[in-house]
Amino acid sequence: MFFTDNKIIALIVIVIVLVIGGAVAYTFMASPVKPSNNTSVINSSSNVTATTSNKTAIIKIVASQTGPANAVQGDNVTIKYSVSNKGGQSVYNVKATSQDFQTTIGTLKPGETKNYEYTLHIPTNQEVQEDFGPNATVSNPFFIGGFGVSYTDSSGSTHNLNANSIEIKL
């Protein structure tokens, strides 16, 4: 079976179209995607802030936790948690979660802050050894990781941030 000149030309055109189409598709797929929201997370020793801007107003959610500077093994200490909306619009379905608690805040209006407390037991070396073996000890300083916050903005996008961690000297 022999190809006529028209069939060869048509085949070459198809190959060229596929090559160019593949290169264009690769360019679109490989180009970095710029999100419509501008989000930044700022860590500090006192709190963590998530700032998101969209078409209507800036959303600025601040999550922080505090606790005593010092404690003794076996103490029960109070950890204070705070979630604030320092932005210009309400956020919805706000939830705060750690390994010790989960709370649903719901809607957080601009300028509104929700505060919570949780009593945490700092174990003794004996308590830790009962669970993890004779060589286990309580770390000093005692470390408490930051809690997570999730919320939904007015456009329906979900955002997450983590509060600061704290250390308590034993």
pLDDT digits (tens, 9 = 90+) for 13-56: 555 545 444 433 332 333 333 333 333 333 333 445 555 555 55
Number of neighbours of residue 155 by Cβ within 10 angstroms: 11
Q: What is the pLDDT of residue 34?
A: 32
| pLDDT confidence band for 82 (50 / 70 / 90) | very high
Ramachandran class of 10: left when φ > 0, alpha when ψ lies in -120 to 50, beta otherwise = alpha
pTM: 0.67
CA distance 72 to 101: 23
User: Which residues are CB-neighbours of 72 under 8 A, at least 6 positions away?
Assistant: 122, 170
Q: What is the pLDDT of residue 158?
A: 95
CA distance 130 to 138: 12
Average pLDDT over the chain reads 78
Q: Which residue has the higher pLDDT, 50 or 169?
A: 169
Comparing C-alpha atoms, which of 71, 91, 90 is closest to residue 79? 71
- Tokens describing residue 83: 């979630």
Does residue 107 have a pLDDT over 50?
A: yes
CA distance 50 to 61: 5
CA distance 152 to 61: 11
Query: Which letter does DSSP use for residue 127 in this model?
Result: H
